[in-house]
Amino acid sequence: MTHKLSFRIFLIVLSASLFVLSSCDKDKPGGGGLNLFTIADDKAFGAQVAAEIDGDAKTYPILDSASNPAAYAYLYGIRDSILNTGVVVHKDDFDWRLRIIHDDSVLNAFCTPGGYIYVYTGIIKFLSAENEFSGVLGHEIAHADERHSTQALTKAYGIDVLFSILLGDNQGTLSEIAKSLISLSYSRDNETESDKRSIEYLNPTAYDARGVARFFEKIIASGGGSGPQFLSTHPNQDNRVEAIMAYWETLGSKTGETYETRYKQFQNSLPK
């Protein structure tokens, strides 16, 4: 029996186990998602998805980092302030690479498995302060760090499809999966966990850690119409802001900087 054939049989057994166990674990914290991927699988799968996104300039018009060094240096500085707190579990395991997608009409950000982060200029320009952006970035980092994305993709596509891609098969599905990350829906528990992690990530920094709450306050103030893409993947649950603020209080209610002026300078440096 070949290695691939034996592995496919193994996947069939795992898929059956996944169905049974996920139905048993659905009420557990973190969404109860059974994750059969290893950290190495997350990294390998995320790299494949990122390569697919990077190679589709029509769908994802990514700003060239060499032509926009100041903008990328600014974003990587924010990323590093989060990673260097020591709170991100997989800080040294994942790449945490950032890319800016030049589309002002899309108010969204997402992170692939393995930490490939994509941020649309639409959400950058919607926000008012650096701590708000940091809050959103922390939220997306949390989805990868807590490995919500492979849980959600497993639920959407099945473990056999994802592992077949890792084996080099089923590559036609890779483009579909890349596109699905923009509209990938996470469970209520996953969203709550990522909100909390965002607060935890920012709390040791100089930032006002309530950035993600400020973002949702802006969405609410706009009537929700300004953020359909983000809210399709991050549904605005009832009392979400209140829950974030309550958790911030349990961590000591530490206030910090918002850095509105330098964030505005960053916004102005982006292409029109």
Render pLDDT for 215-227 as a digit per residue (tens, 0 to 9): 999 888 877 554 4
Is 110 contained in some domain? yes
Is 27 contained in some domain? no
Is 117 contained in some domain? yes
- Total count of domains within the chain: 1
Is 12 contained in some domain? no
Q: For residue 142, is it left (φ>0), alpha (ψ between -120 and 50) or beta?
A: alpha
Is 79 contained in some domain? yes
pTM metric for this prediction: 0.82
Is 16 contained in some domain? no
Range of the domain at 155: 36-269
Is 17 contained in some domain? no
Condensed to tens digits (0 to 9), the pLDDT of residues 152-203 reads 888 888 888 887 877 777 667 877 888 787 777 888 899 999 999 999 999 9
How far apart are the C-alpha atoms of 232 and 17, rounded to whole Å? 30
